[in-house]
Structure 1
Amino acid sequence: MATMSMSIPFHVPNIPKPQDIYSIKPDNSNTTRFVVSQLPNELTHYPASDLVDQPPHPNKPIIKPGDLDTTPFTYVDTVQGLECLRSKLEVADEFAVDLEANNYRSFQGLTCLMQISTRTEDFVVDTLKLYHFIGQYLGAVFLDPKKRKIMHGAGNDVLWLQRDFGIFVCNLFDTMQASRVLKMERNSLAHLLVYFCGVSANKQFQTSDWRIRPLPREMLHYAREDTHYLLYIYDKMRSQLVAGCGSTEYDDPLLEVYSRSHNVCKSLYKKELFNEDSYKKLFGLGDAGLDSDQTNVAARLCKCRDRIARDKDESTGYVLPNKLLIELCQKLPRTESEFLAIAEAHNCQNHPLILDNIGELLKIIGNLDSNQNVAQIDYSKQKGMPEDANTKQSHLEMQYMYQMNRPQGYYVTAVYPQPQACYVNVVYPPGYYISAKHPELMNPVYCTVPQYYQYQIC
């Protein structure tokens, strides 16, 4: 009887957050762009030409590795196990690496698993449990230019290693880059496994929630497959590159692969910073049919969810999914019941972060009339009084106020003081306004037409 294969979704909602369990506190601030500001010397002082076949590739027959069931395997989830792994890598000339991450329940993403294979053994490292020790124990072997690392599509992996563990990779052979130089039909690891090894990998766990613990046997099997055959694939691809297979546009195809791989390693991880134009990157915004006011609501909702996501260490898509955000902008609900009816269509009516912040979200949507287009505001210039403003007081002073948290928006005031009072002439545009002279004493007042407000200063 055939056995049914299990399936793990991309999000298992009842998993305790690893950040809480293991005291993982990333810097989600919107100020520092680089986690590490410069590359280590090993990556700047070694050109790719010095790394080709270092250490020298053995001139012996290429042997396909045994099946996973016959290969020694270690699951590493203790510091003692991590130290043992380091000892084995220190005497290895080369090793294969892959990572599994979760980008949905953390703001910047979180590496959940590291797979490593040598010529004789497979290892899977629980990078959540050992988060605070990975860099200390494995950083040196990854950076060692005398050890070859084999990875597939390492672009994200080298950045995740920097972001989470401060690890840099030197001396990389990226099999995806090799497949491109060899002009292979497809560049995926799944294709290389079939082409070189005759192995059909089950990719159903590729987008699974890798935070789950303990890891089911099927997920461990999938994780091991990603590195178990990678050194053998490297052998086969290197042989073809040396023989001049694939493209004829390169004088030295093997050097081309090392050069491309080395450039991948020289990428620096950058945090994505939020600015007033970030809402323009909202997926689906261009096809949503929003008018200028609705687009401005989208900009403000994006800013609000970015702040919540950073504070709670969640992805912006988890805090407020894009499709829900856009529909809120299209329908502009005015009441909590209208809001939740829209959320229910996206299965978000019981979302804890939406329920916790529904008042603020409704306030942003309800302030449609006061919204200025943030993309058109020039912070560097003071604008003059609009022609339709009441200018009977010659000493009116136009000032732009700071952007407040609640309600979110820009405040423009015209002020003229009196001995015991501060008068505010609300000119343009309609919205919330406060006194420029004494903002700490004044509550914002919403105005829709130019008019006078008098505040008594106590």
Structure 2
Amino acid sequence: MQFSRGIGNHGYESYEPCGVGATCTDALVQSTQLSNKLPSKDNWEYYMTFTSFQKTMKSEGTKILHIVAKILSNQKVKGNISQRDVDEQLDLVVDANDTILEHVANNLDEMDGIRRNPEVELVEASIAPTISGSWNVNKQMMVPNVHRPNHVNRSSTAAPTVRLLTAKNIERPQVKFKDRLDNSSTPFEPRIKDKPNALKPLSILLEMSEDGEWPEELADMAADLARYSEIAVDLEHHSYRTFQGITCLMQISTRDTDYIIDTLELRDKLHCLNDVFTNPSVVKVFHGADHDVEWLQRDLSVYLVNLFDTHQAAKALDFPQLSLAYLLQHYCKVTANKQYQLADWRIRPLPKELRNYAREDTHYLLYIYDTMKNALLDAANGNTNILESVLQQSTEICKKRYWKPILTEDSHMGVYRRSKKLFDNQQMFALKELYRWRDKVAREEDESIGFILPNHMMLQIADTLPREMQGILACCNPIPTTVRKNLVNLHQIVLKAREQPLTKLVLEEEISRVRVPAPSWQKINLDGALHCPHDLSRLGDFRDDLPTLMGDTSASSNRAPSRTPPLVQQAPFVTVFQPLEAQQDDDYSDLTMKPSEVKQLTFVCPYERYKLVRPYVDAQNASEQQAPGQDSVPVEEDEGDEDRIRRIRDHFFKVSAVAVKSEPKPVVKEENMEPLRKQLTKKRKHPETDTYNEEEEEPASSVSQPRQKQSRIEELVETDSKASSKSAEM
């Protein structure tokens, strides 16, 4: 309808007089009708079993691809559709349709007289920082004799203002990239094409590039850079209107030339710089290359070898400031023009102010490198130890790898901890779901999370949990465009969060995953005698086999042997806990003594002793409390200690006799009698020769057990008699 209306404005009532339009429309209608009659799904598999049908579909498909390739070439759409698989062909056709429709819309607007201005419209904003006093004024701004480069505008440095330079109608550079941006959570895959100056071969399957020729200017620059032993490099990056970020500009300076490279236009061709950037004989001078190394890998497939970071050198020299502006002022007496730090580097064509600003970053960097290298040698009194440490730190920066941002279950906790807020279960649920929604939308639309929904707005929504949609908009000032488009989805997240309980129920499987609380540090008396900071034996990973100044502590060292003899497993000489019948000699083949050689003693616990003595004590108490008219146990008045001991012994004999009768006799098999006799063998001592007679043996019998009881009682009586005699003496 829009096409016919545009033609009608030029004098045609419909598209009928236009023969070309009628022919195209009829052909499209007929092609659509025929395509709908093709078999689908199960019928397609059935028809593909016929050879004639397969040949026809293959020939027609080749013709269609040839026609589509001509259309794409006519519309200046980059890409060869015949060398792609089905999914990539579909993506290329979709992108081509968008481009063609954009051209159609521009042509229709031009025909209607509504031509949109394709040129970039610059928008500039200046912010003057507030100065609290005259002492804080930048004195170098007021000194007229300070040297400035010729390409820097002197009037622009008259006031210390920060200028934000952006533009309207900026075309997104991601649309022109040949390599599609992968914002998924899959790991980053390097796209390196070759590996010059390699110590190990490239073990990545490479794809053939369609445009293998380099621009003539790029080839000349690479050849010129190879002639120098030092080059200075810097990058300009943009991260607000893209998810992962884009390297927009590269500046390279030699001793004679300054190069400014458009990395948006030459994104897929700058891997040729690896010949110079990986050459160990060429020093690459950067200032603060921590992020530059990752950006080069991600966007340009360029890697660094032999780096010198002036930021690390400034740390080693203990400078009060580590910025490039301070180094320029300190060594070159040049006041850096840092008014365009927040500029949008996607602007094309690049304004003159931004070109001069970018050139200044590397123009003086090689001179700073020479001066700082001499300063590092002077700081070490002519030695190279400090310089080597800076080079080692720069080498560690070169080893960095780019990792894509990946969403995890605890990704939102970083924002929550930095906010220092206290959320309940409902608010934490809302924060987690809002964070996941923001990450998903940012990946799909290739926008930064700050552009989709800034952190402070997300925390405000999760904190207030507004009931109405207008409450969500009230939490955002200014309101992001993505929030307006997805207002219904955000409202559903908030309503779902309000349905959650205030306190979260902890499941049993979650208890095992609870983090161990951090140990509470106790106060330590540093002046105390027990405080030893070098005693690390309390730690779990403590090791005492590390080498020391006295020599190696391993077994192969020449240290003197320890005086402590090695531990040997031995059997006990006396046992009272385990019966010897349960032990076998074969089980103790590695011991010094066998169970049959161990002397066994009968152990009587204190409670058993108490039960044996209790009847005697009760009898004594009863006799003392007996009435005067009753018969009592006659007790001699002149009874001595010997008579008392004899009477106690007779009492124990009576008690032991009763105990022996009540105990069941052990059942011993005939086959086990022989080892039992050996165990119960007693060595008797000859009274005259004072030696042991091994020939005299007492056969084991049922009387052995009462004898053991009797000997035990005798020992107890003897102990009690000694105790009583001592008490009598006292």
Partner SS state of residue 156, structure 1 = helix
Q: CA deviation at 1:192?
A: 0.4
1:206 to 327, 341, 344: 341
1:301 to 434, 446, 449: 434
Q: Which residue of 2 aligns with 1:119?
A: 255
> Does the 8 A contact of 1:193 with 1:200 survive in 2?
yes
1:367 to 496, 512, 515: 496
Q: CA deviation at 1:23?
A: 4.5
**Equivalent residues in 2 for 1:204-283, closer than 5 Å:** 204-244=339-379, 252-282=385-415
Measured against aligned partners, the alpha-carbon deviations of 1:80-127 in whole angstroms (never above 9, x if no partner) come to 322221111122222100001011111111111101000001011111
Across the aligned residues of Structure 1 and Structure 2, the Cα RMSD in angstroms comes to 3.3
Q: Give the strand-richer structure, 1 or 2.
A: 1
One-letter amino acid of the structure 1 residue matched with residue 462 of structure 2: C
Measured against aligned partners, the alpha-carbon deviations of 1:384-439 in whole angstroms (never above 9, x if no partner) come to xxxxxxxxxxxxxxxxxxxxxxxxxxxxxxxxxxxxxxxxxxxxxxxxxxxxxxxx
For 2:502 and 2:232, the matched residues in 1 are separated by 50
1:27 to 177, 182, 200: 182
One-letter amino acid of the structure 2 residue matched with residue 238 of structure 1: K
For 1:282 and 1:190, the matched residues in 2 are separated by 32
2:455 to 322, 345, 354: 322
> Does the 8 A contact of 2:424 with 2:502 survive in 1?
no
One-letter amino acid of the structure 2 residue matched with residue 160 of structure 1: W
For 2:389 and 2:413, the matched residues in 1 are separated by 37
**Equivalent residues in 2 for 1:33-48, closer than 5 Å:** 35=190
Q: Which residue of 2 aligns with 1:189?
A: 324
1:18 aligns with 2:173: yes
Q: Which residue of 1 aligns with 2:106?
A: none
Partner SS state of residue 404, structure 2 = coil
One-letter amino acid of the structure 1 residue matched with residue 465 of structure 2: L
Q: Which residue of 2 aligns with 1:436?
A: none
For 1:208 and 1:265, the matched residues in 2 are separated by 28
For 1:13 and 1:201, the matched residues in 2 are separated by 28
Deviates more, 1:22-31 or 1:125-134: 22-31
Q: CA deviation at 1:28?
A: 1.1
Measured against aligned partners, the alpha-carbon deviations of 1:167-202 in whole angstroms (never above 9, x if no partner) come to 110001111111111122211111100000001101
> Does the 8 A contact of 1:34 with 1:271 survive in 2?
no
**Greater CA radius of gyration, 1 or 2?**
2
Corresponding residue pairs, total: 343
1:333 aligns with 2:466: yes
Gaps of 5+ in 1: 46-77, 384-458
For 2:374 and 2:422, the matched residues in 1 are separated by 54
> Does the 8 A contact of 2:196 with 2:275 survive in 1?
no
The change in CA–CA distance for 1:103 and 1:380 in structure 2 (over 3 A counts) is: farther
1:347 aligns with 2:502: no
Taking CA–CA contacts closer than 8 Å with sequence separation of 6 or more, which of the two structures ends up with the larger relative contact order?
Answer: 1
Partner SS state of residue 367, structure 1 = helix
Q: CA deviation at 1:270?
A: 1.1
For 1:10 and 1:298, the matched residues in 2 are separated by 34
1:139 aligns with 2:274: yes
Q: Which residue of 1 aligns with 2:486?
A: 357
The change in CA–CA distance for 1:377 and 1:300 in structure 2 (over 3 A counts) is: farther
For 1:36 and 1:283, the matched residues in 2 are separated by 36
The change in CA–CA distance for 1:4 and 1:152 in structure 2 (over 3 A counts) is: closer
For 2:275 and 2:408, the matched residues in 1 are separated by 37
Q: Give the helix-richer structure, 1 or 2.
A: 2
The change in CA–CA distance for 1:291 and 1:149 in structure 2 (over 3 A counts) is: same
Measured against aligned partners, the alpha-carbon deviations of 1:203-225 in whole angstroms (never above 9, x if no partner) come to 12122211112222111111111
The change in CA–CA distance for 1:12 and 1:330 in structure 2 (over 3 A counts) is: farther
TM-score when normalising by structure 2: 0.43
For 1:280 and 1:205, the matched residues in 2 are separated by 34
Q: CA deviation at 1:34?
A: 6.0
One-letter amino acid of the structure 1 residue matched with residue 454 of structure 2: P
% of aligned pairs identical? 37
> Does the 8 A contact of 1:150 with 1:230 survive in 2?
yes
> Does the 8 A contact of 2:233 with 2:286 survive in 1?
yes
The change in CA–CA distance for 1:275 and 1:185 in structure 2 (over 3 A counts) is: same
Partner SS state of residue 164, structure 2 = coil
The change in CA–CA distance for 1:253 and 1:362 in structure 2 (over 3 A counts) is: same
> Does the 8 A contact of 1:24 with 1:131 survive in 2?
no
> Does the 8 A contact of 1:172 with 1:265 survive in 2?
yes
One-letter amino acid of the structure 1 residue matched with residue 171 of structure 2: P
The change in CA–CA distance for 1:313 and 1:143 in structure 2 (over 3 A counts) is: same
Q: CA deviation at 1:336?
A: 2.7
Q: CA deviation at 1:251?
A: 6.1
Q: CA deviation at 1:340?
A: 2.2
> Does the 8 A contact of 1:35 with 1:271 survive in 2?
no
One-letter amino acid of the structure 2 residue matched with residue 100 of structure 1: E
TM-score when normalising by structure 1: 0.68
The change in CA–CA distance for 1:374 and 1:146 in structure 2 (over 3 A counts) is: farther
Q: CA deviation at 1:25?
A: 2.5
